[in-house]
Amino acid sequence: MKANKARIIFHLDMNSFYASVETAYHPAYKGKPLAVAGNPEERKGIIITSNYEARAKGVKTTMPIWQARKLCPELIILRPNFERYRYASSEIFKILNSITPFVEPVSIDEGYMDVTDATSPSNTLQLAEELQHKIKRELDLPCSIGIAPNKFLAKMASDMKKPMGITILRKRDIPMMLWPLPVAEMYGVGKKTAEKLNTMDIHTIGDLAEADVYQLKQLLGINGERLKNRANGIDLRPVDPDAVNEFKSIGSSETLPVDTTDANEIRSLLTALAQNVESRMKRKHAAGRSVQLTIRYHDRSTITRSKKLPNYIEKKEDILKVAFELFDLHWNLEPIRLLGVTVQDIEEKQNIAQQLDLFTYKKDAEKEKLYDAIDKLTQKFGKNPFVEVKEEVNQQPKTSFQKDFLDDYRK
């Protein structure tokens, strides 16, 4: 790319992604109000996402299912199928990658593309239209695309017209298109940050663009200056295809159907979570040096406790040992609503130079042979033959917020 060439960045954002994937799989649902939600029989029964037909009836994300049904009695409610969504996501990013290698996935349903060398300014809109139509034609999925000279403006642009919108946001358009918007609608400004900015009489993005940088830094630290730059359309970040590889943790969490103090139920869930983390680390050929335990109690108060380890770990047994230790130390015996296990300080195994001393080498080598044998048997019989039935784990991903799969489209 020529250094003096103006950048052309796309931000692609899938519209009602989960609901759209379900409609693509079930064409009979097209044109009908549809939502993806947790299990209606359990407390997790809240709306994860809904299509535009459901939104027109007032159905919103995080709304309890009973409330959604009251607003829209004919609402079709499906449980999430994250494997299905991951597959669709992978196919989308393959299409993006066929246009340019400069693709940066951000989440399961959005990503950036640097198309500076893939098009000319006069053909940019045509390329976006062709991309949008290709995804709709081949995958039956709608998307919106923001076009801008940098990532921040492209992200803001993609939110301006949904569904199936294409919006160009040039720097000269900022005073008219960006500055009148409420500061709370600015990407990178959360609810608490917006409230802080309001105390400085900053209510629009335009107010932020003109605010005193010193006062902003006093209020928000270095982020204050960064947000002011973004409000003025300044964002030098490159589209980085390898950014997704910079994951530093892999975790798994689960909300219990009923608040519990049952030690057996708790330990069974921790075992399942550790198994899930091991499986995901295995996919990424990674290991970590820290284990974090999250406990959310019946009153929604939440604690996180972690332990740094002398060596990298990757096996369920090692993860579970630390998780049990942290749990025994920090559980206050109150009923538990949610548990989470996360391995942090992640590195790819090829980057880890394991320090094996004379006393541990033989044991580690023997363990590897055992693990290899178990893996082969698992592949043959479909599950670990040495794990009791009560410890079997559903390998279905529990959340869309896991990011360690986002580069699978390259494989």
Q: Could you give the C-alpha distances from 21 to 109, 139, 294, 346, in angstroms and in order?
A: 11, 9, 31, 32
Under 8 Å CB-to-CB from 361, ≥6 apart: which residues? none
CA angle 342, 345, 347 (to 5 degrees): 110
CA 26, chain centre distance (Å): 25
Given 110, 254, 278, 314, the catalytic residue: 110
404 annotated binding-site participant: no
Query: What are the structure tokens assigned to 178, written together?
Result: 């960006």
* Cis peptide preceding 142, ω within 30 of 0: no
318 annotated binding-site participant: no
CA 127, chain centre distance (Å): 27
Q: Is 110 a catalytic residue?
A: yes
Under 8 Å CB-to-CB from 99, ≥6 apart: which residues? 113, 115, 118, 127, 131
The CA distance from 253 to 401, in Å, is 11
* DSSP alpha helix (H) spans, 114-254: 124-139, 151-158, 191-199, 205-210, 213-220, 222-231
DSSP state of 388: -
Query: What are the structure tokens assigned to 217, written together?
Result: 């830094």
Query: What are the structure tokens assigned to 259, written together?
Result: 């608040």
Q: What share of the chain is helix, strand, coil (3-state, %, to 5)?
A: 45, 20, 35
Written in H, E and C, the secondary structure of 260-273 is ECCHHHHHHHHHHH
The CA distance from 157 to 166, in Å, is 8
Strand partners, 297: 336
The CA distance from 106 to 108, in Å, is 7
The CA distance from 201 to 305, in Å, is 38
Active site residues: 110
Binding residues for Mg(2+): 13, 109
